Amino acid sequence: MVQGDWNCCECNTDIKELPFNPRNTDDLKCRECMQKGRPERETFEGEWNCSKCNADITVLPFNPEDTSTITCKECYLKEKSERRQSKMVEGEWTCKDCNGAITSLPFNPRDPESVACRDCFAK
Ligand SMILES: [Zn+2]
Ligand SMILES: [Zn+2]
Ligand SMILES: [Zn+2]
């Protein structure tokens, strides 16, 4: 840390130390203002490969610690939707079309009277 006596150009807070020696002391920002001004989503550039489909990955929204488990956006989204699908809701419903019993659904039905079984739903 570099010790000094500066002022934040935005909120005028005293700045006593900085992680670097400022060249331009007129537009220094305190830690809080610096964090505020930072874009919300940082991206990291690099050369990785998707662990699922082996596609090239050049940008990631995070800095990967374990590069062997990186997935590209497509695989990531696919996995996410698969995970969502595996979250089945257990219950006892009757199919509105074929009257078959339904014991699990991928969602909690708002209207239990209009539930269709997987077969009828696919039709
Ligand atoms: Zn400030
Ligand atoms: Zn992939
Ligand atoms: Zn049915």
pLDDT at 40: 66
Provide the number of structural domains found in the chain: 3
pLDDT at 111: 92
Ligand nearest to the CA of 116: 3
Query: Which token pair is 86?
Result: 């595996």
What spacing in Å lies between the alpha carbon of 118 and ligand 3's midpoint?
A: 7
pLDDT at 34: 84
Which class for 106: exposed (0-12), middle (13-18), buried (19 or more C-beta within 10 A)? exposed
Residues 94 and 82 in one domain: no
Residues 82 and 93 in one domain: no
What spacing in Å lies between the alpha carbon of 116 and ligand 2's midpoint?
A: 33
Grade residue 31 by pLDDT with cuts at 50, 70 and 90. confident
Residues sharing a CB contact under 8 Å with residue 41, sequence separation 6 or more, in sequence order? 61
Asked if residue 16 has pLDDT above 80, the reply is: yes
Residues 72 and 96 in one domain: no
Residues 10 and 27 in one domain: yes
Question: Which structural domain range is residue 10 located in?
Answer: 2-37
Grade residue 97 by pLDDT with cuts at 50, 70 and 90. very high
Ligand nearest to the CA of 70: 2
Residues 64 and 77 in one domain: yes
Residues 117 and 93 in one domain: yes
pLDDT at 11: 93
Phi-psi region of 12 (alpha: psi -120 to 50; beta: other; left: phi over 0): left
What spacing in Å lies between the alpha carbon of 118 and ligand 2's midpoint?
A: 29
For the segment 43-54, the average pLDDT, to the nearest whole number, is 93
Ligand nearest to the CA of 121: 3
